[in-house]
């Protein structure tokens, strides 16, 4: 079983739409959680950390459910520039463990 699982997509949504990505992780001892964004042929970049209390950064909201080992990312009012692959990331001790990513295309 893959340690971090995500729906690969693609999610094709119109501008202005709200889209949600989900992720599950297998190691209950995981310590920290993140969402990274990766543009085509670029490196992954940290989008936001994910906290148990939930956190928001502008149009982006991340949630963590430790009991269900489930992480989510909600993007409101999608922009064309949000088109990218979103990677769910879990820290087990030091190394980051990456999901394979969910591809989002925002269409005009």
- Residues in contact with other proteins by the rule CB under 8 A: 31-32, 34, 36, 42-46, 49, 87, 89, 91, 94-101
Cα 45 versus chain centre, distance:
12
Question: What's the DSSP call for residue 76?
Answer: -
Give me the least distance between CB of 15 and other proteins, in Å please: 28
CB of 106 to other proteins, least distance (A): 22
Residue 94 C-beta: closest distance to other proteins, Å:
6
Nearest to 62 by CA among 28, 92, 86, 38: 86
Comparison of 60 and 98: residue with beta carbon closer to other proteins: 98
Whole-angstrom Cα distance, residue 25 to residue 1?
10
Write down how long the chain is.
108
Q: 45 or 79, CB closer to other proteins?
A: 45
Q: Is the peptide bond before 10 cis (omega within 30 degrees of 0)?
A: yes
User: Judged by CB, which is closer to other proteins: 71, or 78?
Assistant: 71
């Amino acid at each position: 079983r893959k340690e971090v699982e995500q729906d690969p997509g693609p999610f094709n949504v119109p501008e202005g739409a709200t889209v949600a990505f989900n992720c599950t992780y297998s190691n209950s001892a995981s310590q920290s959680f993140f969402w990274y964004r990766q543009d085509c042929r670029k490196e992954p970049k940290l989008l936001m950390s994910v906290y148990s209390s939930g956190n928001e950064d502008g149009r982006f909201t991340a949630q963590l459910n430790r009991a269900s080992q489930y992480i989510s990312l909600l993007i409101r009012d999608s922009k064309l520039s949000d088109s990218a692959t979103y990677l769910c990331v879990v820290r087990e001790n030091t190394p980051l463990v990456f999901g394979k990513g969910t591809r989002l295309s925002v269409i005009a």
